[in-house]
């Protein structure tokens, strides 16, 4: 029977590419989104992938949403915690709200996404968890004290949970994308974006599909011995 995969933030950007790639690999996919109904409807129309609306920052909503995915599609075998936001500002201008929104979505959101599926994975003796972190969690980034803190936090989460899941057939890994051609990166002022591209040895932004291929590999049976790892896909911008 096809395995079921949940992708948070799975209707746009990197998440959209991951949802499509998993479907192409034969998974039954559920993609979540937080706000953009129009885009989600167009995504389902184009891909046939079912979407679910909840805010990853809300534990109860995540738990309820995951229960309805499992009622519709069966137990979740694969979870890709991808949903993330930016609220960039130099630290002296960063507001407590900008800090909290990013922590709640990008870091607590990962807890909220993985915690409800974890007991089922343990019981069934199989699971694949992939957290989408960022090059900026590895190296830091001007105006992203909030975002970089969450993305570095993701790596600690992954390395800890990998140890807990190992004996139960669960792997937990991270992918650290560099700058990828998505709305999030296109929102960076053009001059700044051009200067960032100048720092990428490959000389271009990454494509969402290049991240999706890392994910499809990590969740495959072939990757069973890869646990607690980080795949960096950043065009040589940073080595860790």
Angle at alpha carbon of residue 11, lines to 6 and 13, rounded to 5°: 110
Sign of CA dihedral 214, 218, 221, 224: positive
Among 16, 77, 88, 154, binds ligand CAA (CB under 6 A): 88
Among 41, 72, 90, 240, binds ligand CAA (CB under 6 A): 90
The piece of 10-18, 33-41, 61-69, 140-148 that touches ligand CAA (CB under 6 A) is 140-148
Looking at residues 190 to 209 of the shown chain, list those that interact with ligand CAA (rule: CB under 6 A): 192
The piece of 27-35, 112-120, 134-142, 167-175 that touches ligand CAA (CB under 6 A) is 134-142
Instruction: Tell me if 98 sits within 8 A of 87, measured CB to CB.
Output: yes
Taking the complex as a whole, how short is the minimal distance between the CB of residue 196 and ligand CAA, in angstroms? 6
Structure tokens at 108: 């607590």
Looking at residues 23 to 42 of the shown chain, list those that interact with ligand CAA (rule: CB under 6 A): none
Q: Which residue has tokens 């803190």?
A: 149
End-to-end CA distance of the chain: 38
Assess 219 for contact with ligand CAA (CB under 6 A). no
Q: Is 147 labeled as catalytic in the residue annotation?
A: yes
Whole-angstrom distance, CA of residue 185 vs CA of residue 19: 20
Dump strand ranges (E) for 100-139: 127-132
- Paired with 7 in beta bridges are 31, 80
Looking at residues 173 to 192 of the shown chain, list those that interact with ligand CAA (rule: CB under 6 A): 179, 184-185, 188-189, 192
Assess 105 for contact with ligand CAA (CB under 6 A). no
Structure tokens at 21: 């790639």
User: Catalytic pick from 27, 33, 52, 147?
Assistant: 147
Instruction: Tell me if 56 sits within 8 A of 112, measured CB to CB.
Output: yes
Assess 143 for contact with ligand CAA (CB under 6 A). yes
Pairing between β-strand 4-7 and β-strand 28-33 as defined by DSSP bridges: parallel
Taking the complex as a whole, how short is the minimal distance between the CB of residue 170 and ligand CAA, in angstroms? 26
Query: Which active-site residues does the annotation give?
Result: 147
Footprint on this chain of ligand CAA (rule: CB under 6 A): 86, 88-90, 93, 134-136, 141-144, 147, 179, 184-185, 188-189, 192
């Amino acid at each position: 029977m096809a395995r079921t995969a949940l992708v948070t933030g799975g209707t746009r950007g990197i998440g959209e590419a991951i949802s499509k790639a998993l479907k192409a690999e034969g998974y039954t996919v559920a993609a979540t989104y937080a706000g953009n109904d129009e885009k989600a409807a167009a995504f389902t129309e184009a891909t046939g992938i079912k979407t679910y609306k909840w805010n990853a920052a809300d534990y109860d909503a995540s738990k309820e949403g995951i229960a309805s995915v499992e009622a519709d599609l069966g137990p979740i075998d694969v979870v890709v915690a991808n949903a993330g936001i930016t609220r960039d500002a130099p630290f002296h201008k960063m507001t407590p709200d900008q800090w909290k929104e990013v922590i709640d979505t990008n870091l607590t959101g990962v807890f909220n996404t993985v915690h409800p599926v974890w007991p089922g994975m343990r019981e069934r003796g199989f699971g694949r968890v992939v957290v989408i972190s960022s090059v900026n969690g590895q190296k830091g980034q001007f105006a992203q004290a909030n975002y970089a803190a969450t993305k570095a936090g993701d790596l600690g989460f992954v390395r800890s949970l990998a140890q807990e899941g190992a004996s139960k057939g669960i792997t937990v890994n991270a992918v650290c994308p560099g700058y990828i051609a998505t709305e999030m990166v296109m929102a960076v002022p053009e001059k700044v974006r051009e200067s960032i591209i100048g720092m990428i040895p490959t000389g271009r932004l990454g494509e969402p599909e290049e991240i999706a291929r890392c994910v499809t590999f990590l969740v495959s049976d072939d990757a069973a011995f890869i646990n607690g790892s980080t795949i960096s896909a950043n065009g040589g911008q940073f080595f860790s």
